Amino acid sequence: MTRHSWAGCVFAFLCATVSIAAAQNAGDLVVDHNMPATMRDGIRLQADIYRPKGDGKYPVVLVRTPYGKAAGDPIARLITSHGYITVVQDCRGRFASEGSWYAFQNEGSDGYDSVEWAASLPGSDGRVVMWGGSYVAITQVLAAVTSPPHLVAITPWMVPSNFHEGVIYQGGALEKNVTDSWVSGVSADPVTQKPPADLHSVDFYRDWRLHPDYDEYWKLMTIDTRPEKILAPGLYLSGWYDVFISGALRDYESVSKHGNPAVQAKQRLIIGPWTHGMASSKSGDVDFGPTANPNPLLVFDWYDFILKGTANQFKTEKPVKLFVMGKNSWREEDAWPLARAQSTRYYLHSGGKANSLTGDGSLSPATPKKESSDQYVYDPSNPVSTQGGGLCCAPTPPGGAFDQRSIEQRPDVLVYTSESFKNDFEVTGNIQAEVYVRSSAVDTDLTVKVVDVSPDGYAKNLTDGILRLRYRNSMEKPEPLKPGEIYKATVAAGPTSNVFLPGHRLRVEVSSSNSPRFDSNPNTGANFDQEKNPIKATNAIFHDSEHPSAILLPVIPQ
C-alpha cells in the first residue's frame, strides 16, 4: 500500500466534506506554509497554518500526521472556515519535519510541545483542540496523557488504547494484515513508492517482532492505564467493524471510571456500524441504511459544545450513542458498558461432530452433561481465510460484515448454532468465550467468531477474537502447553451491539486460524516467520459437565 492511498484511508471520514470545502471562498483565509515548531530537543517540526482573514482571536485545531500535511489541505480549509486557526503538522521525521521517525515513540512529548506552541501562535486565544483518526488519533491520545495545559479537547476516532493488545498483536497473535500493510505504506520509497523488500529493515517493525510479550517496551505507550493524566475531554468515535473498536471503548471506559471528574462529565462516545475509515453506511456486504451514514460535520458541533458552550446534541443527549445492528437504529445510553446488561451463557453442545456447517454442533442455555468432544486438525499451511471483520490498511481482504457460510464448509471450523429466537434477543457489550481445549502441540491458536444467522441462512459475522494459547494465563509470561492436557482458555471475542430478530439464530465458530488478518501459528512455540518447519496440530474442544465451554453474552433485557 502506498503512503498516498494510506493517507486517503485515514481521511475517509471527511471525504464527504471535500466538495463542501471546495465551495468555500479561498480568499477568506490565509495560509502560511512550513512554519517551524521547535521541540524540547531542538528538532523542528514543520506545519502549515490556516487562519481566518481579519483580526480576532480564535481557538486552534491541531492535526499531527505522518502522512504528509499537504493531504490535509481541503479539510484544513473547511475547519478554518468554521472560525478556527488550523495547524496541520508533519510528525517527527516525516516529510518536511526534521528528526527520525519511530512509530508512536515521540508522539507524547512532541504532542505536548506542539500543543503549547500552537496555543502561543499569533491570533490564538490560547485554547487548542486536536482532530483526526487512526494514527492521527493516536497522536492525540499520546499527547493527552502528557497533560498539556492548553489542550482543551481531543477528537479521536478509530483510536486504540494499548499498542500491544489490539494494534500490533491481539490475544498474542500478530495483527499481520494491519502491521505489514501499514508499515509497507509508511516505509515506501518516496520516489518509487515501493515498500522495503524486508520489513524487518524498518526499526520499529523489527522491535515489534522482537517484543511479542507485553513487556516494558509496550507498557510505556499504553493509554488506558493513565486515564487520570487526560485533562481534555474526548469525542471518541469508532465502528463495530473497526480494527481498533476495543481500544476506543477501553479509552472511554477507563476515563469514565478513573479519570478527572470534569473530563468525565464532558467526554462522549459514538459507535456506528462502520469499518476503519467510517466512510459510509455500508460495511462489507451489508448496508445498514441511511441513518448509519457518518456525519462528517459532527466535529464542529463538538467544538461548539466544548469551546462555546452551545446547547446542541452534545448538551442535550446522553453521553453514549450506539448504533444497534439488527434493528439498525441509534440509541442513547448513560454509560459504557451498559449497567443493565446481564451476562448470559450459551453452552457449546454436540455429539462429537461439530465440524463444518453440516455437523451436529448446537448452542443453548442448557448446561452440558455427558458429551463427546469435537476434534479438528489445524494445518498452518492451509489456514482458515479471513472473511471480513475488523481490518485495516490493505485493499484485500475487505473488512466489515460478510456471509460466513463458505468458511463454515471447512472441516477445521467447528460450528455451533442455536435454535431460532422467538423474540428480539439483544447482545450489547463485550463478548467472551470460555473454551476447554486440548492440543497435540506445545502451542496453537484458538479463534472464536460470533455470527447472526438470518432465516434465509445468510451468516453475518458480528465480532471475533483470537488467543495464542501460550498466553492463556498472561500476555507477559508465555507458558507452553503440555500436549494432551486440557486447558481452560478465555478468548476476548470483541464488542458488538446487535438484536437477533425473531427467526434469527446465534452461531459461534471455533477454529485455530484467521489468515491473513493474523499470522498463522506454526504450533511449535516459535513465530511463523521464524519457523522453517511448522507442524499440524490436532485440537479438541470439550463441552461436558466438567468442561462447560460457553460463549458469554451481555444480554439486554427487552
How large is the C-alpha radius of gyration of the chain? 24
Cell numbers 483510536 label which residue?
Answer: 159
State the CB neighbour count (10 A cutoff) for residue 476. Answer: 13
Distance separating alpha carbons of residues 103 and 142, to the nearest angstrom = 12
Distance separating alpha carbons of residues 527 and 225, to the nearest angstrom = 28
Show Cβ contacts of residue 145 under 8 Å, excluding neighbours closer than 6 positions. 108, 223, 226, 229, 230
Cell numbers 488519533 label which residue?
Answer: 137
What is the β-pairing status of strands 173-174 and 537-542? unpaired
Provide the grid cell at 3. Answer: 503512503
Show Cβ contacts of residue 295 under 8 Å, excluding neighbours closer than 6 positions. none
Three-point CA angle 506, 461, 512, nearest 5°: 95
Separation of CA 298 from chain center = 20
Cell numbers 454436540 label which residue?
Answer: 350
Distance separating alpha carbons of residues 212 and 198, to the nearest angstrom = 19
Q: At what angle do helices 135-144 and 107-119 cross, to 10 degrees?
A: 80
Query: Which residues are catalytic, by number?
Result: 134, 242, 276
Report which residue type is found at 470. Answer: R
Distance separating alpha carbons of residues 264 and 234, to the nearest angstrom = 9
